[in-house]
Amino acid sequence: MSNEFVRIAGLCAKISDGGTDKEILRGVDLEIPAGEVHAIMGPNGSGKSTLSYVLAGREDYEVTGGTATFKGQDLLALEPEERAALGLFLAFQAPVELPGVNNANFLRTAVNAVRRARGQDELDAVAFLKAVRKETKHLSMSDDMLKRNVNVGFSGGEKKRNEVLQMRMLAPSFAILDETDSGLDIDALRIVAEGVNSLRAPDFSALVITHHQRLLDYIVPDRIHVMARGRIIHSGGPELAKQLEAQGYARFLAEAA
């Protein structure tokens, strides 16, 4: 398929928790063509965040079956940093704090690491600062956040904006946003959504994981998938969000059972 961009088939993964294996993904099938934004909704514990971690390459999950390809490459065979270089970006649900690591230095190191890996010239200090200032202004972030240590002492909203800042600076072609809307007030939500929407392009796709239909008013997806018990159990158009908001997941869960 020439249009193949993100393709996940039969993906199974487990985590070892205190000696016992827990199967979390039980055969996820999902295709996201280039240029499309898809959303995943579903009850807690359905495997949404696990899917994002497995795609980004977190080591505590063991893939037990299935495939995940991106731009025709086997994602699961790549190191996390190689996936980032290829264009994958995960905005974390709960970004970690990095005490002692300056936010601007971190961001510049990351930007130049992916630029190097993509065969682009590195940004010098001046060019970087110019680029980052443009983005922070866009996201209504204070310069002070660049001087602080990564996510240390950041409010929930500041952490999410910092994720979006990283996303924009790293210029991904496939972004996964894991509950980026949680903890955001309505103004911040608008800013974050605008940060995603303005990246929309024929060669950019996104997977938005959320609990709330509200975010999907601002980032209107091409497709919505319902995830439960480690699988995609239903897919539909953007109108599905309203339906879920009104009726909940019960109907789909019953159908899938």
Which residues of the chain form contacts with another protein (CB under 8 A)?
Answer: 56-60, 79-81, 83-85, 89-90, 92, 95-96, 98-101, 106, 109-110, 113-114, 117, 166, 170
Shortest separation between residue 149's beta carbon and another protein, angstroms: 8
Which alpha helices (H) appear in 20-138, and where do they start and end?
Answer: 48-56, 80-86, 103-117, 125-138
Residues 6+ apart with CB under 8 A from 152: 97, 98, 99
- The span from the CA of 53 to the CA of 59, in Å, is 9
Shortest separation between residue 83's beta carbon and another protein, angstroms: 8
| Cβ proximity to another protein, 180 vs 232, nearer residue | 180
Collapsing DSSP to helix, strand or coil, 26 comes out as strand
| Cβ proximity to another protein, 103 vs 210, nearer residue | 103
Shortest separation between residue 79's beta carbon and another protein, angstroms: 7
| Cβ proximity to another protein, 62 vs 245, nearer residue | 62
| Cβ proximity to another protein, 95 vs 183, nearer residue | 95
Shortest separation between residue 115's beta carbon and another protein, angstroms: 9
| Cβ proximity to another protein, 98 vs 201, nearer residue | 98
Kind and range of the H or E run holding 161:
helix 156-170
Burial status of residue 78 (CB atoms within 10 A of its CB: 0-12, 13-18, 19 or more): middle
Instruction: Evaluate whether 66 touches 8 at the Cβ level (below 8 Å).
Output: yes
Shortest separation between residue 184's beta carbon and another protein, angstroms: 20
